Amino acid sequence: MKRININRRQFVTGLTLGGVMAGFGMSSGRLFAAPSLSRQQEVLRGNLLNLTIGEQAVNFTGKPRIATTVNNSLPAPILRFKEGDKITLNVANNLSETSSIHWHGLILPSNMDGVPGLSYDGIKPGEHFTYQFDAKQSGTYWYHSHSGYQEQTGLYGAIIIDPIEPEPFTYDREYVVMLSDWSDENPTNIYAKLKKLSHYYNFNERTASDLWKEVKGNGVKDTLNAREMWNQMRMSETDISDVTGYTYTFLMNGETPSEGWKGLFKRGEKIRLRFINGAAMTFFDVRIPGLKMTVVAADGQYVQPVSVDEFRIGVAETYDVIVEPNSDTAYSVFAQAIDRSGYARGTLTPDLSMSAAVPTLDPVPILTHQDMGMGSMDGMAGIAGMAGMDHAKMPMGKMAGMDHAKMPMGKMAGMDHSKMPMGKMAGMDLSKMPMNRDSSTMHASTEYGPHVDARASNPQYRLDDPGVGLRNNGRRVLTYADLKNLNKTPDEREPSREIDLHLTGNMSRYMWSINGVKYSDAVPLQFKYGERVRINFVNDTMMNHPMHLHGMWSDLETGDDKYIPRKHTVVVQPGAKISYRVTADAKGKWAYHCHLIYHMAGMFREVHVS
């Protein structure tokens, strides 16, 4: 495809719609003259599509930069398939480096998954690759590069798979809402800065005035004790995001906050919004002031409808919601970054000349004891005291990450979890939750050393916790506890074995790992074809980690075995634990990793199913 050189305004507001408007008898030149009409993305339909990966001039901040794009579009075109069809995608690489496309959340053969080094060798410069697979599912998904930092520089787009059967809800029109983060900086330079100074982009550190306020509110003793604890751990309670609005411009469908994406509606219509978090590093908290959102799907799978005011969407997650505007007014679609350093925004409006007021950012979140995996002040003191201990002498053994089916620990793999005295949370019977406290607080010998700076002493299941910055904010916030699959769990087998995976790292050195072992030193996880496995995650860090298993569903355990929600990406909150079941029904080599792009190099595993 011939490269097109155009200015920023033409690219951001016009080029992505050229193909769509051509189908309505409008030329792309007409769009450039009327930018208010050019806010929708190109949609490619059918079972045979041609995609070209290349470079494109963009300018989001007043400084010209080069983005990595598909068909000269950022975001990449929306791909629309039909469930049951055999899909053929011819992908050409016009870059000067190897590229790839991973079809996130799609169930397909391992050699079509698009991960260089596992699925195939990638697409070399000047070459092409033909992906071919059956569309075995329906719903909202997305695609992105799995090569280097190309996802950060723009190579991401939406996938919609229309179902064979009628959907369990109705709507009058729909929009994809793709959220992302753009930086003018070279991603390699971002990573280099984080390695040198992990809080380089954090401008919410505590100040002298904050200290004085704490002294007046809590007294000198309590304030100094709290400060000592944080100092000993070399951590900050405002360390919410590694990369912030200091360098990021947050985009909604490729539009900056100053411009804002717009979607039309007529009063009384039901509007389906397909939210996708295609960011490299940013969690977003989404709300539409004045409108309730009914969540009808999570990660492409139907859920029992839940009415909420707000939801947090982790990197790589998708949520489908339905809204019903009941007046001829404009509504702000507001997606604030989890650290409140900025936002992406759009407007649902009956008239393109109307815009909605942009809400004020919420206060900067502050991490709490529970976000550090501490059950009490005693636990806090215990963690703080760990800074000077010789961890190499601790007789912990290689407990975490082991196959519990082989461990003589109270028949852990085959135990009756219903007898575990774990109480109830948000109406859920936590006695049915799998991981007992002893298991979740055991740490492998590999987790001790300078590469790991924290271990949760008392991690808890917090499925009903909306997360830091969203607690008790006066709005009804979606949690994982709210998610119930619309259809019954397809595989109700109790897992035959369990695997504990501790998410670990050293924040100050910017080192990330699983069970204290980085990917380059790790042994692949071995699954037996057809088996049912339970994955127990414990987050020993103070960061949210969106964990993505390729090729298979992650059946999130919420206490209701009959209607387990199916996800492709599961967020593990700071200092928390979470469990899900996996049916190993896809042979081959699969990637398993944190979807934060600057964590991925260390917090990554291979899964081999044979």
The single-letter code of the amino acid at 516 is G
Q: Residue 114 in contact with residue 138, Cβ under 8 Å?
A: no
CA 609 to the chain's CA centroid:
24
Name the average pLDDT for the chain: 84
* Two tokens, residue 222: 């309590």
- Encode pLDDT of 181-226 as tens digits: 999 999 999 999 999 998 889 877 555 555 556 556 677 666 555 5
pLDDT at 376: 42
Confidence check: pLDDT of 394 > 50: no
Residue 81: count of CB within 10 angstroms of its CB: 25
Choose the most confident range, by mean pLDDT, from 54-63, 386-395, 410-419.
Answer: 54-63
Q: Residue 606 in contact with residue 592, Cβ under 8 Å?
A: yes
**Range 216-241 average pLDDT:** 63
**Range 273-295 average pLDDT:** 98
- Containing 88, the helix (H) or strand (E) segment is strand 86-93
Say which residue the tokens 């339970």 belong to: 534
Confidence check: pLDDT of 419 > 50: no
Q: Which position has the higher pLDDT, 554 or 438?
A: 554
**Range 5-22 average pLDDT:** 32
pLDDT at 113: 98
Q: What distance in Å separates the CA atoms of residue 424 and residue 331, rounded to the nearest whole number?
A: 38
Q: Which of 516, 542, 558 is nearest to 459 (CA)?
A: 542
Q: Which of 298, 306, 304 is nearest to 567 (CA)?
A: 298
Confidence check: pLDDT of 438 > 90: no
Q: What distance in Å separates the CA atoms of residue 429 and residue 558, rounded to the nearest whole number?
A: 9
Q: 76-82 and 128-134 as β-strands: parallel, antiparallel, unpaired?
A: unpaired
- Encode pLDDT of 299-332 as tens digits: 999 999 999 999 999 999 999 999 999 999 999 9
Q: What distance in Å separates the CA atoms of residue 60 and residue 12, rounded to the nearest whole number?
A: 8
pLDDT above 70 coverage of the chain, percent = 77
Task: Name residues whose C-beta falls within 8 Å of residue 102's C-beta, 6 or more positions apart in sequence.
Answer: 113, 114, 115, 143, 144, 145, 146, 550
Residues in the chain, how many?
Answer: 610
Task: Name residues whose C-beta falls within 8 Å of residue 124's C-beta, 6 or more positions apart in sequence.
Answer: 93, 98
- φ/ψ (deg, to 5) at 12: -65, -40
* Two tokens, residue 291: 């409108």
Residue 34: count of CB within 10 angstroms of its CB: 12
Task: Name residues whose C-beta falls within 8 Å of residue 380's C-beta, 6 or more positions apart in sequence.
Answer: 229, 369, 372, 374
pLDDT above 90 coverage of the chain, percent = 72
The single-letter code of the amino acid at 126 is G
Confidence check: pLDDT of 274 > 70: yes
pLDDT at 203: 78
* Two tokens, residue 607: 């899964």
- φ/ψ (deg, to 5) at 76: -65, 160
Categorise residue 203: left if φ over 0, alpha if ψ from -120 to 50, beta otherwise: alpha
pLDDT at 368: 81
What strand order describes the sheet that includes 156-162? 43-45, 76-82, 156-162, 139-144, 102-104
Task: Name residues whose C-beta falls within 8 Å of residue 314's C-beta, 6 or more positions apart in sequence.
Answer: 277, 283, 544, 546, 569, 571, 595
Q: What distance in Å separates the CA atoms of residue 549 and residue 569, rounded to the nearest whole number?
A: 7
What pTM was computed for the model? Answer: 0.84
pLDDT at 416: 35
Confidence check: pLDDT of 424 > 80: no
Confidence check: pLDDT of 73 > 80: yes
